[in-house]
């Protein structure tokens, strides 16, 4: 009698574990790919990168910068949004106020090949900064 009872308990336990595993697998299969990626990325923090160079062009939603990456000439296009902090001479400015030829340092995140600027610092030559302070 005890052996039969132990066998029934064992079968019930195995059935429960297998059923739980199958239910979890089916839930993951039904979830859209974008949600699965979000579930995997939830714990990850975006890695910040930095690039320095000269502005080729700037609009309200993007900045194109040319510079050097690992000793080679490179060109980057950074997306700009309402969270991007842009500073020139310590003052906040808009992306459209950046001029071609300005020297900049951009801190950005790269997510799925799209680089989004989190901060842009326009480096002003000391002579030009002194002239702006006198105004």
pLDDT average per 10 residues of sequence, the chain (135 residues): 84 77 60 49 72 93 92 92 92 91 94 90 73 54
Residue 65 confidence (pLDDT)? 95
Alpha-carbon dihedral sign for residues 131, 132, 134, 135:
positive
Residue 15, φ and ψ in degrees, nearest 5:
-60, -40
Residue 91, CA atoms < 13 Å, CB-side half-sphere: 9
Residue 59 confidence (pLDDT)? 92
The answer for residues whose C-beta is within 8 angstroms of residue 84's C-beta and 6 or more apart is 95, 116, 117, 118, 119, 120
Looking at the domain covering 48-134, what would its CATH class be? mainly beta
Q: Tokens standing for 85?
A: 């902090």
Residue 4 confidence (pLDDT)? 85
Residue 111 confidence (pLDDT)? 83
**Where exactly are the structural domains of the chain?**
2-41, 48-134
Q: Which residue, 71, 72, 81, 128, is CA-closest to 108? A: 81
Cα–Cα distance measured from residue 16 to residue 12, given in angstroms and rounded to the nearest whole number: 6
Residue 35 confidence (pLDDT)? 47
Residue 117: Cβ within 10 Å count: 24
Residue 74 confidence (pLDDT)? 92
Q: Is 124 exposed, middle or buried (0-12, 13-18, 19+ CB in 10 A)?
A: middle
Please give the model's pTM, rounded to 2 decimal places.
0.60
């Amino acid at each position: 009698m005890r052996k039969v009872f132990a066998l029934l308990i064992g079968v019930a336990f195995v059935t429960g574990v297998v059923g739980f595993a199958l239910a979890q697998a089916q839930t993951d299969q039904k979830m859209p790919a974008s949600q699965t990626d979000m579930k995997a990325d939830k714990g990850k923090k975006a890695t910040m990168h930095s690039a320095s160079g000269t502005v080729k062009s700037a609009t309200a939603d993007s900045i194109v910068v040319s510079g050097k990456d690992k000793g080679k000439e490179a060109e980057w296009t950074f997306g700009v949004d309402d969270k991007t902090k842009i500073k020139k001479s310590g003052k906040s400015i808009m992306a459209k106020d950046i001029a071609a030829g300005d020297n900049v340092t951009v801190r950005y995140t790269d997510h799925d090949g799209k680089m989004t600027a989190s901060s842009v610092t326009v480096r002003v030559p000391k002579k030009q900064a002194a002239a702006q302070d006198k105004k």
